[in-house]
Amino acid sequence: MNDWFEERRQAVEKELATLAIPGQPARLYDPIRYTLVLGGKRIRPVLTLLGCELYGIPYAKAMPQALAIEIFHNFTLVHDDVMDSADVRRGMSTVHKKWDPHVALLSGDAMLIIACQQLFRAGNEHLQPISSIFMQTALGVCEGQQLDMDFAVGEDVSLTDYLDMIRLKTAVLLSGAMQIGAVIGGAGSGQLEAIRSFTENMGIAFQVRDDYLDAFGNADFGKHIGGDIREGKRTWLTVKALEMADQHTKERLAAAYANADLNLRVQQVLEMYNALDIRTLAEEAVNGYSAKAVHVLETMDGDQKVKTWLRELVDFLMGRTV
């Protein structure tokens, strides 16, 4: 990524590395340290910083809230990996595998609390609005995660239902991240609404790209490729394939998904995706939502340089492989 991103990412990294996290009990706090320094792209905290800078305020002012967002995000990942039975994240063992699921539950809870501690390091005038955005965001993520699990076992899921689920589980956090920064930068409600629209479109593109990489990515992705198919998760690819397929193909896809041999399951599902050219359709969907985000961005006010950076961020996320 570009210099401006690298500078902000490193500033976040430095703050995360120096967070005062207690030593004992080790099985509570070690997994937190392990998770927070394992890397990750740091997209969300950088969005918080840019939200602030968009209105001419230096990013340092929003740093505690940027940390809050990144710690919250990492908490959702620790719990998500339990829910998705995922073994690998960022190329490393997930917390519930390295320790155990009980450790993942409680360390995750503690991360949520540490996130709140950082969030509340704000001036009095900002505490109410940023808390309100944060709580609404966090509940949205829970709703999205529950729908994600419901969809994995449910019968029919329309593309509209699916898009609303990923808006909740993924896009609202990108949105909350940037809105909180913008509040600290002095944004008004009209500006927050534009940010919501920009980030939600970007977030939907981001999650469709994540679904795509889960099936077609390489080792850089840092997660077990084919993990969604192995777990029987509904993704944009599955929902789109089912929407397009004739009755016979639908039955074959359902049979492939039900295959108890997981390697064969992945192979067969990928074959069906290829036959339906789902790969191209997913790329088009990512481009389409990214274009919507850029369109909203063009109508937004704020610092021109920061808007250029946000545009570069959308382009980076569209083509990401990590």
Instruction: Name the site residues for ligand IPE (rule: CB under 6 A).
Output: 40-41, 43, 76-77, 80, 84, 86, 90, 141, 145, 169-170, 207, 210, 214, 223
Strand pairing partners for 93? 88
Q: How far is the CB of 4 from Mg ion (least distance, A)?
A: 27
Check binding of 200 to Mg ion (CB under 5 A). no
CA distance 260 to 163: 28
Strand pairing partners for 89? 92
Q: Which of 305, 64, 58 has the alpha carbon at shortest distance from 186?
A: 58
At which residue do the structure tokens 């394939």 appear?
241
Look up residue 86 and give its amino acid: A
For the chain, helix, strand, coil in percent to 5 are 75, 0, 20
Check binding of 70 to Mg ion (CB under 5 A). no
**Residue 215 binds which one of Mg ion, ligand IPE, none, with CB within 5 to 8 A depending on kind?**
none
Q: Which is nearer to Mg ion, 29 or 99 (CB)?
A: 99
Q: Which is nearer to ligand IPE, 196 or 223 (CB)?
A: 223
The only residue of 30, 70, 84, 200 in contact with Mg ion, by rule CB under 5 A: 84
Q: How far is the CB of 178 from Mg ion (least distance, A)?
A: 21
Give me 241's structure tokens: 């394939």
Q: Which is nearer to Mg ion, 30 or 214 (CB)?
A: 214
Strand pairing partners for 88? 93
Q: Which is nearer to ligand IPE, 62 or 147 (CB)?
A: 147
Q: Which is nearer to ligand IPE, 5 or 55 (CB)?
A: 5
61 touches 51 (CB < 8 A): no
List interacting residues with Mg ion (CB under 5 A): 80, 84, 210, 214
